[in-house]
DNA sequence: GCGGACTGCTTACCT
DNA sequence: ACAGGTAAGCAGTCCGCG
């Protein structure tokens, strides 16, 4: 049945109707209340027990699925869907009687004797599953439970009592998502109380022509995914919240576990024009003068009591479908939750569901941007390392070019308008972070939800390995494949067959060719487009195809290893990763650069392209990580081994063509002065031999190598200075060095011919000499001289050695300042036995000048080496002079 | 008891 | 809590030295 509505096709979801419908359960057994946390390493399943509910309409327009949850009160799964017309959440409760379950290979007799009296047991069912590892159908028993905690999460859960279980550690709301083939972030409707998936009309003919080289099976799979990557994302109605609390200490965040001090200010900024600051009236505070940062449209509302203020905030938490905070899990919502209780509210009347480190909402979705920006994959692949420190200020300045408002005094000492302006800015930044670039972040989150099949609150809190896990689990479930246990894969596939170059690593990685120290004009960089995903796709790599069980495949060996690859089946990982790669490269990346479409449209393609890139970039790495449930060393190892083979063969081929390969790293080759024809020939050769595109990545006017790997500086044909790995560019290098280094790159930027170097060299010598003189004459400030190093753990957790930044951090602690992991410690090198001091405690006259001269040398040597200049030759004479002083 | 050679630890980077 | 490979600087240890 298909009804056409506008440009959408609507069709019935192909979910099977369950025969025996469970009656709605009003009450759960007692005693669960306190044991809602899983003991496992898995993030706890937060079980909702509040009485807040959204509407459950029988008929709706287009809705976007934001989240799949489990209601403990009704003991069933339910969906939170976003209605873009009303800007509200609606609920839809499961109508199939779906129940949590696990699989086991125990017989029903064995099971009966063990668990038949378990109060949470519903029934046993024999089902057929496909065992990918052994390439055969198997019969297993599905043990169905009455509620999620009876499967796992308690000491006496079924999974603790049954041996040989599978799929027993999937959280119930995820299990439900996969089984119902739900796509979070995607479009649905409710019709006569039924949930219906809504697909966008796709022009399949034009698509097929873009992918005409693809084998049938791969193309079919790609077309299934296409609508989900092409459907637009709504402009979500959302509100950002930030709270301020009185605090005794200037440098310490109030503790939400005790929530001793009052909440005095809350700002609310929404996508639909709300700009409000709620302020607690206090007798000793003056109104003050409205600062220019606090624009006239910001409404300030005063409250006589704190609880009245909090209750007003709660109205917005219920009202809005999406609530944004920066560290709301760890602070804002946690504090509100605790504080409301201290002021007499009952837990079940508070519209916040508090887990251990996570704050959820009963109706809407809470996005903690701190957690999202903390995600390494997002930091690196989506934002290209644009922000270094995960603080609101650092992120806002790099992504929005906007700063937090600086306050000199503690919260308690500010007047009303100063406080309002400070608090308002933080909420404004949070909202703007999600609206920038046509709602880039919200679009990205939604695309990641669709690809990973994860709910919004999970996507923003979990990392790339969880996203990929979820995507793959879904693919297993829809195909009827049993999800193997990590131990099943390891037992069958064994361990690695290569030795890593780095001590402590599990297998060998990529090749890096050491460059000769020199300056090279006219260099072209070729690189293999997404090499590892392409290898996984082209070589049919998957955990079941690497070292498969078929005797006849053993001849199909992976170069450099003892592994072989299946010739009989398409590998599941190969299929999925290959599809993501193809659709990204051949469609979205292409479209994001298409000048014939609008910028708005290009931006959309860019987002999809970025989301796919995040998955692809991590798709090989997860298989080499023990934390990944489908961990498979031979798979990761085969990927890098084939990568080494490809780059080695390509270098050899280039040399046969009399090309000079001056440097190579993993998937890239730097070629000296090739002709266009030579480039073309090499590309053709590589593409026909390996089936992987070899693209021109960059063209350098010149590039200087210091002789070190992963360490060079060049000027591109578009005039941009491209610096990799040099000390002068690292974030922990003192500002005075970075500045001098940057001055040097400005000189190099102007170099067009080898002759220009004469002049450039003289200028560079001058820069270095100036830098040296300024240092010697103590012209630099302490901030200029500071090294800024991130603390990765609490200072007392460094037991093997005490690095300098830890020494500095401990000095700060002694002075009563709080330091924690993630903080960046600024310190200078001083004379004396300890050798370092935090900038806050140091004096300019105790700086260890000799140490800093060493740093000038090592920073500039990385470039001087290539130019054939000796550092001593620049400052040699000066150095003597210095000593005689 | 002291200093250079060496290894290991830590951070930040590259692909 | 995606991988391995590399640079740099310092901390700590070992060993030889009549």
Helices assigned H by DSSP within A786-845 = 804-814
Helices assigned H by DSSP within A281-322 = 306-319
Nearest nucleotide, CA A725 to C1': B13
Scored b (16 or more CB within 10 A) or e, A649-664 reads ebbebbeeeebebbbb
Report CA(A693)–C1'(C2) in Å, whole number. Answer: 24
Give the pair of three-digit tokens for residue A820. Answer: 């924690």
Give the residue among A538, A490, A627 at the shortest CA–CA distance from A213. A538
Lowest mean pLDDT segment, chosen from A135-149, A495-509, A678-692: A495-509
Report CA(A852)–C1'(C11) in Å, whole number. Answer: 19
Strand C closer than 7 A to residue A854 Cβ: yes
Residue A370, CB-side half-sphere exposure with 13 Å CA sphere: 18
Nearest nucleotide, CA A385 to C1': B13
Give the residue among A112, A107, A57, A109 at the shortest CA–CA distance from A79. A57
Report CA(A850)–C1'(C17) in Å, whole number. Answer: 30
Question: What are the beta bridge partners of residue A5?
Answer: A8
Strand C closer than 7 A to residue A835 Cβ: yes
Nearest nucleotide, CA A706 to C1': C7
Report CA(A380)–C1'(C2) in Å, whole number. Answer: 12
Q: How large is the average pLDDT for residues A795-803?
A: 93
Asked if residues A159 and A39 have their Cβ atoms less than 8 Å apart, the reply is no
Q: How large is the average pLDDT for residues A604-622?
A: 94
Tell me: the pLDDT tens digits for A636-668? 999 999 999 999 999 999 999 999 999 999 999
**In this structure, what are the phi and psi dihedrals at residue A146, rounded to the nearest 5 degrees?**
-80, -25
Nearest nucleotide, CA A709 to C1': C6
Whether the per-residue pLDDT at A854 is higher than 70: the answer is: yes
What pLDDT does A202 receive? 84
- State the virtual CA torsion across A243, A247, A249, A255 in degrees, nearest 10: -70
Give the residue among A873, A809, A802, A877 at the shortest CA–CA distance from A841. A809
Average model confidence (pLDDT) for chain A?
A: 90
Residue A36 CA to residue A32 CA, distance in Å, equals: 6
- If you write DSSP's letter for every residue of A659-705 in order, what string do you get? -EEEEEETTEEEEES--HHHHHHHHHHHHHHHSS-EEEEEEEEEEEE
Give the pair of three-digit tokens for residue A242. Answer: 């930030």
More confident residue, A113 or A182: A182
- Residue A477 to residues A141, A222, A273, A472, Cα–Cα distance (Å): 16, 18, 43, 9
- Of A residues 688-717, those with CB within 7 angstroms of nucleic strand C are 706, 708-711
Nearest nucleotide, CA A501 to C1': C5
Report CA(A173)–C1'(C18) in Å, whole number. Answer: 77
Burial class (CB in 10 A: 0-12, 13-18, 19+), A755: exposed
What pLDDT does A386 receive? 86
- Of A residues 569-628, those with CB within 7 angstroms of nucleic strand C are 617-618, 620-622, 624-628
Tell me: the pLDDT tens digits for A412-436? 889 999 999 999 999 999 999 999 9
- Helix then strand count (H, E) for chain A reads 27, 29
Report CA(A799)–C1'(C16) in Å, whole number. Answer: 29
Residue A38 CA to residue A42 CA, distance in Å, equals: 7
Sign of torsion, CA A174 A191 A72 A111? negative
What pLDDT does A32 receive? 28
Tokens 């997860």 identify what position? A622
Report CA(A781)–C1'(B7) in Å, whole number. Answer: 36
What pLDDT does A509 receive? 96
Lowest mean pLDDT segment, chosen from A238-252, A347-361, A612-626, A700-714: A238-252
Residue A389 DSSP class: S
Residue A140 CA to residue A162 CA, distance in Å, equals: 13
Whether the per-residue pLDDT at A353 is higher than 50: the answer is: yes
Nearest nucleotide, CA A825 to C1': B11
Report CA(A517)–C1'(C9) in Å, whole number. Answer: 22
Asked if residues A326 and A367 have their Cβ atoms less than 8 Å apart, the reply is no
Tell me: the pLDDT tens digits for A752-780? 999 998 999 999 999 999 999 999 999 99
- State the virtual CA torsion across A728, A730, A732, A734 in degrees, nearest 10: 20
Neighbours of A103 (CB within 10 A): 20
- Of A residues 436-465, those with CB within 7 angstroms of nucleic strand C are 462-465
What pLDDT does A36 receive? 32
* Residues present in chain A in total: 885
Report CA(A800)–C1'(C18) in Å, whole number. Answer: 35
Neighbours of A575 (CB within 10 A): 20
What pLDDT does A6 receive? 32
Give the pair of three-digit tokens for residue A177. Answer: 């998502």
Nearest nucleotide, CA A618 to C1': C2
Strand C closer than 7 A to residue A256 Cβ: no
What pLDDT does A248 receive? 74
Report CA(A801)–C1'(B5) in Å, whole number. Answer: 19
Strand C closer than 7 A to residue A499 Cβ: no
Report CA(A325)–C1'(B11) in Å, whole number. Answer: 30
Residue A64 CA to residue A183 CA, distance in Å, equals: 9
As ranges, strand C nucleotides with an atom below 7 A of a protein CB are 1-12
Burial class (CB in 10 A: 0-12, 13-18, 19+), A272: exposed
Residue A146 CA to residue A141 CA, distance in Å, equals: 16
**In this structure, what are the phi and psi dihedrals at residue A786, rounded to the nearest 5 degrees?**
-75, 135
What pLDDT does A26 receive? 24
Report CA(A741)–C1'(B6) in Å, whole number. Answer: 32
Residue A588 contacts by C-beta under 8 Å, 6 or more apart in sequence?
Answer: A229, A605, A608, A609, A612
Give the model's confidence band at A825: pLDDT under 50 very low, under 70 low, under 90 confident, else very high: very high
- Strand A238-245, strand A353-354: pairing: unpaired
Q: Tell me, rounded to whole angstroms, the distance of Cα A356 from its chain centroid.
A: 21
- If you write DSSP's letter for every residue of A334-377 in order, what string do you get? HHHHHHHHHTT--GGGSS-EE-SS-EE-SSSEEEEHHHHHH-HH
Conformational region of residue A68, where left means phi above 0, alpha means psi within -120 to 50, and beta covers everything else: beta
Give the pair of three-digit tokens for residue A578. Answer: 């290959």
- Of A residues 813-832, those with CB within 7 angstroms of nucleic strand C are 829
Whether the per-residue pLDDT at A18 is higher than 90: the answer is: no
Whether the per-residue pLDDT at A388 is higher than 50: the answer is: yes
Nucleotide C3's nearest residue (CA vs C1') is A621
Give the pair of three-digit tokens for residue A82. Answer: 């976003």
Tell me: the pLDDT tens digits for A132-164? 999 999 999 999 999 999 999 888 999 999 999
Residue A299 CA to residue A270 CA, distance in Å, equals: 13
Nearest nucleotide, CA A512 to C1': C5
Residue A816 DSSP class: T
**In this structure, what are the phi and psi dihedrals at residue A11, rounded to the nearest 5 degrees?**
-140, 155
Tokens 């989301």 identify what position? A611
Residue A546 contacts by C-beta under 8 Å, 6 or more apart in sequence?
Answer: A493, A558, A563, A564, A565, A566, A571, A632, A634, A635, A638
Whether the per-residue pLDDT at A882 is higher than 70: the answer is: no
Residue A480 CA to residue A473 CA, distance in Å, equals: 11
Helices assigned H by DSSP within A105-213 = 108-115, 148-151, 158-161, 172-179, 204-210
Residue A326 CA to residue A368 CA, distance in Å, equals: 5
Nearest nucleotide, CA A531 to C1': B15
Asked if residues A484 and A164 have their Cβ atoms less than 8 Å apart, the reply is no
Nucleotide C12's nearest residue (CA vs C1') is A801
- Residue A186 to residues A227, A233, A447, A471, Cα–Cα distance (Å): 9, 8, 9, 15
Nearest nucleotide, CA A514 to C1': C6
Residue A13 contacts by C-beta under 8 Å, 6 or more apart in sequence?
Answer: A180, A181, A194, A195, A196, A197
Whether the per-residue pLDDT at A240 is higher than 70: the answer is: yes
Residue A428 CA to residue A267 CA, distance in Å, equals: 9
What pLDDT does A14 receive? 32
- Strand A88-93, strand A76-83: pairing: antiparallel
As ranges, strand B nucleotides with an atom below 7 A of a protein CB are 8-15
Q: Tell me, rounded to whole angstroms, the distance of Cα A434 from its chain centroid.
A: 15
Nearest nucleotide, CA A375 to C1': C1
Report CA(A855)–C1'(B9) in Å, whole number. Answer: 20
What pLDDT does A443 receive? 96
Nucleotide C8's nearest residue (CA vs C1') is A727
Strand C closer than 7 A to residue A852 Cβ: no
Whether the per-residue pLDDT at A30 is higher than 80: the answer is: no
Whether the per-residue pLDDT at A50 is higher than 80: the answer is: no
Residue A197 contacts by C-beta under 8 Å, 6 or more apart in sequence?
Answer: A11, A13, A183, A186, A187, A188
Asked if residues A103 and A141 have their Cβ atoms less than 8 Å apart, the reply is yes
Nearest nucleotide, CA A622 to C1': C2
Residue A283 contacts by C-beta under 8 Å, 6 or more apart in sequence?
Answer: none
Tell me: the pLDDT tens digits for A588-597? 988 898 999 9
Tokens 């495949």 identify what position? A553
Report CA(A127)–C1'(C6) in Å, whole number. Answer: 52
Burial class (CB in 10 A: 0-12, 13-18, 19+), A199: middle
What pLDDT does A3 receive? 30
Q: How large is the average pLDDT for residues A838-856?
A: 92
Asked if residues A283 and A302 have their Cβ atoms less than 8 Å apart, the reply is no
Tell me: the pLDDT tens digits for A532-560? 999 999 999 999 999 999 999 999 999 98
Tell me: the pLDDT tens digits for A773-795? 999 999 999 999 999 999 999 99
**In this structure, what are the phi and psi dihedrals at residue A790, rounded to the nearest 5 degrees?**
-80, 135
Could you tell me what percent of chain A has a pLDDT over 90? 81
Residue A811 contacts by C-beta under 8 Å, 6 or more apart in sequence?
Answer: A837, A838, A841
What pLDDT does A255 receive? 93
Lowest mean pLDDT segment, chosen from A44-53, A102-111, A162-171, A854-863: A44-53
């Amino acid at each position: 049945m298909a009804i056409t509505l506008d440009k959408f096709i609507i069709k019935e979801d192909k979910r099977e109707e369950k025969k025996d419908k469970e009656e709605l359960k009003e009450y759960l057994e007692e005693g669960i209340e306190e044991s809602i946390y899983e003991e496992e390493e898995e993030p706890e399943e937060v079980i909702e027990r509040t009485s807040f509910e959204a509407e459950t309409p029988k008929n709706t327009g287009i809705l976007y699925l934001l989240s799949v949850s489990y209601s403990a009160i009704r003991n069933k799964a339910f969906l939170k869907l976003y209605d873009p017309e009303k800007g509200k959440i609606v609920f839809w409760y499961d109508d199939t009687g779906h129940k949590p379950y696990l699989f086991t290979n125990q017989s029903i007799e064995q099971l009966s004797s063990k668990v038949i009296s378990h109060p949470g047991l519903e029934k046993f069912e024999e089902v057929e599953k496909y065992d990918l590892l052994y390439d055969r159908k198997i019969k297993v028993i599905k043990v169905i439970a009455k509620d999620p905690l009876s499967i796992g999460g308690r000491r006496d859960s079924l999974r603790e009592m049954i041996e040989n279980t599978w799929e027993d550690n999937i959280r119930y709301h995820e299990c439900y998502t996969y089984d119902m083939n739900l796509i979070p972030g995607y479009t649905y409707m409710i019709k006569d109380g039924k949930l219906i998936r809504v697909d966008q009309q796709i022009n399949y003919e034009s698509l097929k022509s873009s992918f005409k080289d693809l084998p049938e099976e791969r193309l079919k799979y790609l077309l299934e995914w296409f609508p989900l990557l092409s459907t637009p994302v709504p402009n979500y109605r959302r509100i950002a919240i930030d709270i301020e609390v009185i605090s005794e200490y200037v440098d310490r965040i109030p503790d939400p576990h005790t929530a001793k001090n009052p909440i005095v200010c809350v700002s609310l900024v929404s996508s639909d024009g709300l700009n409000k600051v709620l302020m607690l009236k206090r007798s000793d505070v003056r109104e003050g003068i409205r600062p220019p940062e606090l624009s006239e449209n910001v409404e300030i509302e005063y409250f006589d009591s704190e609880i009245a203020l909090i209750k007003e905030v709660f109205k917005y938490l219920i009202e809005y479908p999406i609530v944004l905070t920066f560290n709301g899990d760890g602070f804002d919502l946690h504090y509100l939750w605790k504080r409301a209780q201290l002021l007499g509210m009952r837990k079940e009347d508070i519209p916040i569901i508090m887990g251990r480190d996570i704050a959820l909402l009963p109706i809407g979705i809470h996005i903690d941007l701190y957690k999202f920006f903390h995600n390494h994959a997002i930091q690196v692949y989506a934002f290209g390392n644009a922000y270094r420190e995960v603080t609101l200020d650092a992120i806002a300045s790099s992504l929005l070019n906007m700063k937090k408002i600086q306050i000199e005094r503690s919260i308690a000492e500010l007047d009303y308008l100063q406080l309002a302006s400070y608090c308002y800015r933080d909420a404004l930044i949070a909202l703007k972070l999600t609206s920038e670039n046509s709602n880039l972040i919200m679009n990205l989150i939604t695309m990641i939800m669709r690809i990973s099949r994860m709910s919004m609150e999970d996507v923003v809190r979990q990392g790339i390995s969880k996203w990929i896990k979820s995507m793959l689990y879904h693919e297993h479930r829809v195909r009827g494949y049993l999800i193997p246990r990590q131990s099943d894969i390891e037992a069958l596939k064994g361990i690695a067959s290569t030795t890593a170059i780095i001590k402590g690593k599990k297998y060998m990685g990529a090749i890096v060719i050491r460059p000769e120290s020199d300056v090279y004009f006219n260099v072209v960089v070729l690189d293999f487009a997404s090499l590892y995903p392409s290898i996984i796709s082209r070589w049919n790599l998957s955990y079941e195809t690497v070292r498969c069980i078929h005797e006849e495949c053993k001849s199909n060996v992976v170069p450099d290893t003892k592994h072989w690859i299946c010739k009989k089946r398409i590998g599941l990982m190969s299929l999925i990763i290959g599809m993501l790669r193809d659709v990204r490269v051949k469609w979205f990346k292409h479209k994001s650069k298409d000048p014939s479409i609008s910028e708005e449209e290009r931006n959309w393609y860019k987002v999809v392209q970025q989301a796919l890139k995040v998955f692809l970039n991590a798709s090989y790495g997860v298989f080499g990580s023990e934390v990944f449930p489908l961990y498979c060393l031979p798979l990761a190892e085969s990927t890098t081994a084939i990568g080494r083979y490809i780059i080695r063969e390509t270098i050899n081929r280039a040399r046969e063509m009399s090309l000079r390969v001056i440097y190579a790293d993993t998937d890239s080759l730097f070629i000296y002065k090739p002709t266009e024809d030579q480039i073309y020939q090499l590309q053709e050769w590589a593409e026909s031999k390996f089936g992987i595109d070899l693209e021109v990545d960059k063209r350098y006017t010149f590039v200087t190598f210091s002789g070190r790997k992963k360490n060079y500086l060049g000027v591109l044909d578009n005039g941009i200075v491209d610096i990799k790995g040099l000390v002068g560019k690292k974030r922990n290098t003192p500002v005075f060095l970075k500045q001098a280094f940057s001055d040097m790159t400005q000189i190099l930027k102007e170099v067009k011919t080898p002759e220009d170097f004469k002049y450039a060299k003289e200028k560079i010598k001058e820069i270095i000499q100036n830098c040296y003189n300024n240092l010697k004459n103590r012209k630099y400030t302490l901030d200029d001289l500071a090294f800024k190093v991130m603390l990765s753990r609490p200072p007392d957790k460094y037991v093997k050695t005490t690095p300098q930044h830890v020494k500095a951090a401990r000095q700060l602690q002694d002075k009563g300042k709080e330091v924690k992991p993630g903080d960046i410690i600024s310190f200078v090198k001083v004379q004396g036995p300890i050798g370092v001091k935090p900038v806050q405690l140091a004096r300019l006259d105790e700086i260890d000048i000799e140490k800093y001269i060493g740093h000038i040398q090592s920073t500039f040597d990385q470039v001087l080496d290539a130019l054939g200049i000796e550092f001593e030759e620049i400052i040699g004479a000066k150095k003597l002079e210095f000593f005689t002083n």
